Structure 1
């Protein structure tokens, strides 16, 4: 079965379009993640080359945590050479955890054994035990609330998100 027809992939694509991230089907050459590339506020997907559909959520996380003025430069030579920063990477990883939680997918969907430089299990263990590495950064970006702030404001804490895309 092609990933394009996969129910999980359809659910991911629908969710991303719903929050404002465009998905463009496109033939791609060699890319950092097979079958995926980023453009200005969009993800290019080559379903024939896609190996790990959970990587779509990770790439979406990069767009989501990037400020709008930079988000429209993604994929061009105008984007900063430092993009994504280490902070952006941590925020995108945690964002993708919130997204898979929202979609009710298992952690292994994003944190598969072939990604994250062999640290997938480490991320799964930390996140599923409530150790959300990078949470202060996502809070600072005004995307979510930690337990203390959520309780004060009577809102749901992370992994619930207050909004999905950074302003």
Structure 2
């Protein structure tokens, strides 16, 4: 195997903790066959379900990012979402959400923002570890997180892991 190329998704040591977390917050994640032409290797979203193929090579951290897309999707659309969208605000929110999830689970930031991640992980790792939380304003807007308000719910802690029904943009 080439250096830096991911192993089979099912071999990732973080997989069980990620799956437990995602199921625990109410997202549906199912092991199954994923088409080779999927947007990300070894995973896809279909009708609001995150499918992953444990025998295909893929980055386990990408499961958190794709789950983040489901989590920040308007709940009226979540169960019918055929694929993740390209809305810039939701993309940034999914990045922030995946970071918060990784921190809650104990997944290393380098596993989330891996070498193949969106052109390279260095700027995202530097931003998040220094407290510049890309995407946090959208999570705040939807009532999912706060930067810090004195009640102990300081990001990356989340107030809600799924975007609430009343938090829709106009």
Aligned to 1:85: 87
Q: 1:17 aligns with which of 23, 32, 47?
A: 23
Relative to structure 1, the CA distance from residue 84 to residue 70 in structure 2 (aligned partners, 3 Å threshold; closer, same or farther) is farther
Distance 1:15 1:40 in 2: 20
Counterparts of residues 32-71 of structure 1 (less than 5 Å):
32-71=39-78
CA apart distance, 1:5:
5.0
Distance 1:14 1:60 in 2: 13
Count of paired positions:
157
Counterpart contact for 2:9–2:59, Cα < 8 Å: no
Distance 2:131 2:95 in 1: 14
Counterpart contact for 1:26–1:46, Cα < 8 Å: yes
CA RMSD of aligned residues (A): 1.7
CA apart distance, 1:54:
0.6
CA apart distance, 1:41:
2.7
Distance 1:121 1:38 in 2: 27
Distance 2:46 2:57 in 1: 17
Question: Tell me, what secondary structure is at the counterpart of 1:7?
Answer: coil
Distance 2:42 2:9 in 1: 11
TM-score (norm 2): 0.86
The answer to whether the aligner puts 1:128 opposite 2:129 as a matched pair is: yes
Unaligned runs of 5+ in 2: 1-6, 165-170
Aligned to 1:111: 113
